Amino acid sequence: MRDTSTQKDFITAGPDPHPEYNTHGFRCKEFADIDMDNYILFSGSSHTEGVGVNPDQTFGHIVSAAMKCDQVNLGVGGGGIDTVEHNLFMWFLKYDKHPKAIVVEWPDYSRYIRDIYGQTNLCPAGMWSDSEFITYATDALYIKGEMVYRQLHKILPVPIIDVMYYKMTNNFYVDSHVIWHSEVDKGTDNSHAGPKTHLNTAENIHNALIR
């Protein structure tokens, strides 16, 4: 059963209950079982969560196995930059021991979270959910996205490795160190990237970590 007290803290991902997700709603093992002296922290959208592939085929799992450490997967399907920001801040407020690295797959800037009646937690709202809202809020969301990107790089206690499936916006400057989650195959849902894509991304992340 989902830990509803934690839901007040984290914006969560998976179905409740589901054997591939922990009681906090994330696609990794229970936080209490994580080796806090030896782990990598992953955050992002459904690409990080690993929608369309098995848990052991996600780039987070592959990288962590290669680095011989645990993974914390805070990926949230449909989540936006505000979800990434919120969950990373919440992690460092709740847990004192820092990860070996932080890997962030940055979602599209126009995704956002909102309060939905009857839901305990704030919920991801994709850019497709309210075209009128996006029409009026696009500039504000873009500015918010760029601010969060730059501020998290400055204030988090561990350097961030950037992963992107697409640029956060066409106008956003992207440094050459960004790792692209470039799709070379399809997952089981025929919408998200497949195992070969995750493997390629994992190899690029691993190379960045061991430089």
pLDDT tens, residue by residue, 168-187: 655 555 666 899 999 999 99
Q: What is the tens place of the pLDDT at every residue in 161-170?
A: 999 997 765 5
Residue 206 corresponds to which tokens in the numbers above? 């691993």
The kind and range of the H/E element at 71 are strand 70-75
Q: What is the tens place of the pLDDT at every residue in 129-158?
A: 566 665 666 677 777 888 898 899 999 999
CB within 8 Å of 18: residues ≥ 6 apart: none
Please tell me the predicted confidence (pLDDT) of residue 136.
Answer: 60
- Is the pLDDT higher at 7 or at 124? 124
- The pLDDT mean for the chain works out to 85
- Would you place residue 10 in the very low, low, confident or very high pLDDT band (cuts 50, 70, 90)? confident
Please tell me the predicted confidence (pLDDT) of residue 203.
Answer: 97
pTM of the model: 0.86
Place of tokens 């790089």: 153
* Residue 96 predicted with pLDDT over 80: yes
- Would you place residue 6 in the very low, low, confident or very high pLDDT band (cuts 50, 70, 90)? very low
* Residue 121 predicted with pLDDT over 80: no
CA distances (Å), 98 to each of 9, 76, 102, 114, 155, in order?
A: 19, 21, 9, 29, 13
CA distances (Å), 131 to each of 29, 125, 134, 136, in order?
A: 37, 11, 5, 9
Please tell me the predicted confidence (pLDDT) of residue 3.
Answer: 45
- Going by C-alpha positions, the residue among 99, 198, 81 that lies closest to residue 143 is 81
Please tell me the predicted confidence (pLDDT) of residue 105.
Answer: 96
CA distance 40 to 37: 10
